[in-house]
Amino acid sequence: MAEKRDELTPMMRQYHDLCARYDDALVLFQVGDFYETFCGAAERTARLLEVTLTSREDSTGEYPMTGIPVDNAESYVEELLEAGYRIAVADQIEEPGESPGVVERAVTRVITPGTLTEDELLAGDDNNFVAALARGDGDGGSADELAVALLDVSTGDFLATSSSSREAIADEVSRFAPSEAVVGPDASDDLLPEDCMVTPFDPDAFALERATKTVSGYFGEPDALLAADAEVRACGALLEYAEYARGGAESDVDEDADATEREGPHLEYLTHLTRYDPREYLLLDAVALRSLELFEPRAVRAREDATLIDVLDETASALGGRALRDWLRRPLLEPERIEARLDAVEELTGAVRRREQLHELLRDVYDLERLIGRISRERANARDLRSLRDTLAVVPEIRDRLADADCARLRELREELDPLADVRELIDDAVVADPPIEITEGGIVAEGYDADLDELRGTARDGKQWIDDLEARERERTGIDSLKVGYNSVHGYYIEVTNPNLEAVPEDYQRRQTLKNSERFVTPELKEREDEIVGAEERADELEYELFCEVRSAVADEVERVQALADALATVDALVSLATVAAQYDYCRPEIRDRDADLEIDIEGGRHPVVERTQESFVPNGASLSPDRRLAVITGPNMSGKSTYMRQVAQIVLLAQVGSFVPAESARISPVDRIFTRVGASDDIAGGRSTFMVEMDELATILREADERSLVLLDEVGRGTSTADGLAIARAITEHLHDEVGAPTLFATHHHPLTELAEALPAAFTLHFQVEQREGEVVFHHEIAPGAATGSYGVEVATAAGVPEDVVERSRELVAEHADELERPDPRTDSQEHGDAHVPASTDGGSQGVPDDVAAELRSLELAHLTPVEALTELDRLQRLLEE
C-alpha cells in the first residue's frame, strides 16, 4: 500500500498516514460504528481476535479488512494489549458531511499497558505505573547517576528518584512493578522486570534542556523539585510520553523545528511530582518482596488469601486499597512517622462503633483520583459528575466521625477532608440526579440552571401542549368526533380523518398521506408549531452539551483540591483497615525503638500473619535479637516450622514499620533499613538459571550490601550443591555475617555442624524446633526453644505419613549407608537431600526387596521443599508403584 500512496482514495491515504506516524502501534481507524484495520494489520488482528477477515474494495484496489464495533471495543483492546500491541485509536473528529471531502480523523489516545485509563482494563485497588529510566548528563561527574520516574496516568501519582547504584534503581523499579517502561538513547532495559513492556521513545525528549522545559511547564523550575539531571530527564521524557499517549498532538511534525520546541496537550491532572529518596523507606528488593509474600504468593497453586496484602486489606474504597499497597511497598523508617500512624490505628482500634461507621461511609466513596482524571481529560459524562457529587456528599459525615479524635494524625486528616461544598453545589444545581450516559442528547442539565435553556425547553413544552390540545379543538371546529392527531418520524405531526368524514374537512387542511381507510393532513399552523418544537429541542440539546462542558471544565479546575481530598480519604480508609485487622485478629501495638539506639528486636508470642489464618491452631513463638545475640542458627526437622518462624519475624518487623499493629503478644522493634532474604525453594527455574546459581547470586548481594541496620533471613543456604561444599559455604557465610556484617540474622539450616559454630561465636546462638517421637511417630509442636536439634527425622515423617513399613526400613538403611558417603562430593549434586544423615540407622531388618526405582525416587525426594499435600501425593504414587 505504501508505494502507491498517491493513488489511494483520500480515506485510505488518511489511514496510511496515521499508520506511518504511529508506526509502533496498531491503528484502529474509526469508520462509523466500527474500528477498522486494513492489509497486514487486518490479517493479524483477525487471527488474534478471531474476527472475520473481509475486504474493502474501492477504485484503487481491494484490501483485507477487519472491523471491531466501537461500542464494545474494550474487550478487544484488552486482548490486543495482552498480545503485546500498542494501540492508536483514530477517531472521527467531525460528523460525516460536516465539511467537504473525507471525514477528519485524529488519534485521540494511544493505549499501552502503562497508560491505561479505562476502568474496565485496570485493577481498582492497585496502581498501574509506567516508568522512565534515564542517566545523568555526563558533566559534573553525574553521568553515573541513574534515575527512574514513575507515573500512574489513571490517578496522577507521579514519583521520581535516582541513585548511583544500578541495584538501587532496579530495586525501586521492582517495588513499583511498572507494566511499561519508556527508555531513551542510553536504554537501561536490563534493569526491568521481565513482564514489563519496553517502549523506546524519542531521544530528544530525554535531552536535558528540553526535559527541563517540559517539567517546568507542569511543576515550575525542576531545580527546586528534583535532585539530579537524570531525574529531570526521566520526568521530562515521561511527561512527553504521557502527552503522546493522551493523543491529540496532531500539529504536523515540522522537521525544521528546533528540537527543544514541542507542542503537546497539557495534562491537567498532573498536579504534583514527588521526589523521594529510597533511603527514607525500608528497602525491599525483588527477592524480599517475593519471599515475604507481600503481594504475590510464592507457591504457584497458592490459596487466594496467601499474601500479606490479602490478610491486611479491609479497605472500603479503591482509593484506600491503593494507599495501603503503597504503605506496604514502602514501609517507613522514621519512628515519628510510624508512631503517627500507630496512634491513629490505636485510637480507631478502640473506637469500634466509629470505626464501623467510617468503614460504611467509605464504601460510598468513588475512585476520586480516576474520576477527576477522566473529568480533566474531558472523558467524563454526566454520571461521573454525579458520582463525584455523591462522594462529596459523604465527606461531611466522615468529618463528623472524626470530630472528637484525640490523636494528631486523625485531627489533621479531619482538616484535610475538604467537602468541596462549592463543587458539590455546582453539580447539584447543574446536573440532574439520574442523567443518561450520552452527553449530546439532552436530559442532563437541571431545570433552573440556565435561563436560555429553560426558555427553549419552555418553547418546546408550550408547542407540545398546543399540539396536545389540538385534537379537541379540531374535533369541535370540524364536528368530526373520530378526528385524531398523531405523529410519525417520517411525516411529523398530522391530523387523521377517516374516509366517511372527508367532506367535513376544512379548507386549510393540506393532504399529506393517503391510507386505506383514512387521509392525513397538516395545517400551516401545525407545521409552524412543529418546526418551532424541533428547532427548540435541537438548540436545547446543543446548549445542554455546551453547559455540561462548562461545568465539567469548572470542576476540572479544582483538580488539586479533589486530589487532596482523595488523599485524605485514602489515608483514613487505610488506617481504618489496619485498625479493623488489629481488632479482629488480636494484634498488638508494637513499641518502636529509637533509630540511634542499638538494633533490637523483641517479640513475645509472635504469629505468622498469613499462616495463622489458615492453620487451625497456630503456635505463637517469640524472638529476641540484639547486638550481642544477633545471629541465630535454627535447626529442626522438616515441617517443624523453621521457615514460617523466620518469615513471621520479618513480617512483624515490616508491619511495625508500616505503622500497623502486629500479630504478637508484645513487640519492641528497632526499625531496620533493609530486609534481606535468601529463602530456599524460590528457585528461579523460569529465569533459566540453576538453583545454585540463583542462591549464590542472592547471597552475594546480601554479603555485599547488608549492614548492622539490616535484617537477614537465610533459609537452607548451601543446599543446592554437594554436602561438603554446601556446609563449607554455610560456615563461611555465618562467620562473615557474624564478624564483618553484624546484621541481626536468622539462619535456618540442616547443616548441624553450624550449631557448633554458633556456640563458638560470641554473638551467635542456637534455636531449634522441638518434636517428639511418640511410639515411632513424630509429633510436631512448632515450638521454638534454645539449643540445637538432635536429628532431622525425615524418615520418621515418612512413617507418620503412612509409608509402608518395608519402605521405611529400607530408607533407614539407605540413610545409614549414605551417612558414610557424606565426605565424598556427590555426583548427583543440585537436587540432593542429605539432611537426614543424622538419623541413626535402624538395627533390625535387612533389605526387604524394595525396587531400585522406588528407592531412588525416595532418596531424591526433597522433603524440605515439599508441602504436606505434595508429600502425601508423592507417597501415594510411590505406594502404588510398589504395589505394581
**Residues engaged in binding Mg ion (CB under 5 A):** 642-643
Instruction: Among 45, 212, 523, 638, indicate the residue that binds ligand ADP (CB under 6 A).
Output: 638
Check the annotation: does 443 bind a ligand.
Answer: no
The secondary structure of 320-345 as a DSSP string is HHHHHHHHHHS-B--HHHHHHHHHHH
CB 160 within 8 A of CB 172: no
Question: Could you tell me the CA-to-CA distances from 702 to 236, 252, 695, 710, 734 in Å, in that order?
Answer: 35, 53, 11, 10, 12
Pick between residue 174 and residue 291 the one whose CB is nearest to Mg ion: 291
Stretch that binds ligand ADP, among 180-188, 562-570, 634-642, 825-833 (CB under 6 A): 634-642
- Our finding on whether 93 is near ligand ADP (CB under 6 A) is no
Q: What is the identity of the amino acid at 393?
A: A
Stretch that binds ligand ADP, among 111-119, 442-450, 520-528, 635-643 (CB under 6 A): 635-643
Pick between residue 552 and residue 642 the one whose CB is nearest to ligand ADP: 642
Contact positions with ligand ADP (CB under 6 A) in 95-124: none
Question: Minimum CB separation from ligand ADP for residue 767, in Å?
Answer: 12
Size of interface with ligand ADP, in residues (CB under 6 A): 15
Which of Mg ion, ligand ADP, none is residue 611 near (CB under 5 to 8 Å by kind)?
Answer: ligand ADP
Stretch that binds ligand ADP, among 190-198, 636-644, 694-702, 786-794 (CB under 6 A): 636-644
Instruction: Number of helices (H) and strands (E) in the chain: give both, helices first.
Output: 27, 27
Residue 685 φ/ψ region, left for φ over 0, alpha for ψ in the -120 to 50 degree band, beta for the rest: alpha
Stretch that binds ligand ADP, among 97-105, 270-278, 632-640, 825-833 (CB under 6 A): 632-640
- Our finding on whether 641 is near ligand ADP (CB under 6 A) is yes
CB 50 within 8 A of CB 60: no
- Our finding on whether 609 is near ligand ADP (CB under 6 A) is no
| 852 φ/ψ angles, rounded to the nearest 5 degrees | -60, -40
CA–CA gap between residue 385 and residue 437 (Å, rounded): 11
Pick between residue 409 and residue 642 the one whose CB is nearest to Mg ion: 642
CA–CA gap between residue 648 and residue 587 (Å, rounded): 13
- Our finding on whether 305 is near ligand ADP (CB under 6 A) is no
Residue with CB nearest ligand ADP? 641
Pick between residue 545 and residue 618 the one whose CB is nearest to ligand ADP: 618
Residue 35 φ/ψ region, left for φ over 0, alpha for ψ in the -120 to 50 degree band, beta for the rest: beta
The torsion angle over the Cα atoms of residues 837, 843, 848 and 853, rounded to 10 degrees, is: 10
- Our finding on whether 644 is near ligand ADP (CB under 6 A) is yes
Pick between residue 318 and residue 611 the one whose CB is nearest to ligand ADP: 611
Which of Mg ion, ligand ADP, none is residue 482 near (CB under 5 to 8 Å by kind)?
Answer: none
Check the annotation: does 127 bind a ligand.
Answer: no
Question: Minimum CB separation from ligand ADP for residue 636, in Å?
Answer: 6
Pick between residue 338 and residue 714 the one whose CB is nearest to Mg ion: 714
Which of Mg ion, ligand ADP, none is residue 640 near (CB under 5 to 8 Å by kind)?
Answer: ligand ADP
Question: Minimum CB separation from ligand ADP for residue 640, in Å?
Answer: 4
Instruction: Among 106, 526, 582, 639, indicate the residue that binds ligand ADP (CB under 6 A).
Output: 639
Query: Of 462, 470, 488, which Cα lies nearest the Cα of 525?
Result: 470
Question: Minimum CB separation from ligand ADP for residue 645, in Å?
Answer: 6
Instruction: Among 182, 611, 778, 795, indicate the residue that binds ligand ADP (CB under 6 A).
Output: 611
Pick between residue 126 and residue 862 the one whose CB is nearest to ligand ADP: 862
| 455 φ/ψ angles, rounded to the nearest 5 degrees | -65, -45
Check the annotation: does 517 bind a ligand.
Answer: no
Which of Mg ion, ligand ADP, none is residue 782 near (CB under 5 to 8 Å by kind)?
Answer: ligand ADP
CA–CA gap between residue 613 and residue 600 (Å, rounded): 27
Q: What is the identity of the amino acid at 139?
A: D
Instruction: Among 636, 671, 718, 726, indicate the residue that binds ligand ADP (CB under 6 A).
Output: 636
Check the annotation: does 163 bind a ligand.
Answer: no
- Our finding on whether 306 is near ligand ADP (CB under 6 A) is no
Query: Of 837, 878, 835, 826, which Cα lies nearest the Cα of 857?
Result: 878
Nine cell digits for residue 254:
515540522
Pick between residue 659 and residue 791 the one whose CB is nearest to Mg ion: 791
Pairing of strands 621-625, 601-606: antiparallel
CB burial string 161-200: b at 16+ within 10 A, e below: bbbeeeebbbbbbbbbbbbbbbbbebbbeebbeeebbebe
Check the annotation: does 436 bind a ligand.
Answer: no
- Our finding on whether 618 is near ligand ADP (CB under 6 A) is yes
| 511 φ/ψ angles, rounded to the nearest 5 degrees | -70, 135
Instruction: Among 11, 49, 121, 619, indicate the residue that binds ligand ADP (CB under 6 A).
Output: 619
- CA atoms within 13 Å, Cβ hemisphere of 711: 28
Pick between residue 151 and residue 679 the one whose CB is nearest to Mg ion: 679
Residue 123 φ/ψ region, left for φ over 0, alpha for ψ in the -120 to 50 degree band, beta for the rest: beta
CA–CA gap between residue 741 and residue 436 (Å, rounded): 65
For residue 593, the 8-state DSSP code is: P
- Our finding on whether 864 is near ligand ADP (CB under 6 A) is yes
Pick between residue 638 and residue 677 the one whose CB is nearest to ligand ADP: 638
Pick between residue 541 and residue 833 the one whose CB is nearest to ligand ADP: 833
Contact positions with ligand ADP (CB under 6 A) in 778-797: 782
In sequence order, what are the beta bridge partners of 629? 626
- Our finding on whether 678 is near ligand ADP (CB under 6 A) is no
Check the annotation: does 641 bind a ligand.
Answer: yes
CA–CA gap between residue 727 and residue 717 (Å, rounded): 9
Pick between residue 55 and residue 615 the one whose CB is nearest to ligand ADP: 615
Residue with CB nearest Mg ion? 643
Question: Minimum CB separation from ligand ADP for residue 702, in Å?
Answer: 19
CB 791 within 8 A of CB 776: no
CB 712 within 8 A of CB 744: yes
Q: Can you say how many angstroms the Cα of residue 10 is from the centroid of all Cα atoms in its chain?
A: 43
Q: Scanning the structure block, which residue is given the C-alpha cell 387523521?
A: 496
Question: Minimum CB separation from Mg ion for residue 865, in Å?
Answer: 8
Q: Scanning the structure block, which residue is given the C-alpha cell 491529540?
A: 248
Check the annotation: does 464 bind a ligand.
Answer: no
- Our finding on whether 640 is near ligand ADP (CB under 6 A) is yes
CA–CA gap between residue 353 and residue 583 (Å, rounded): 12
CA–CA gap between residue 288 and residue 307 (Å, rounded): 13
Q: Binding site residues for ATP, as ranges?
A: 636-643
Q: Binding site residues, as ranges?
A: 636-643
* Residue ranges binding ligand ADP (CB under 6 A): 611, 615, 618-619, 621, 636, 638-644, 782, 864
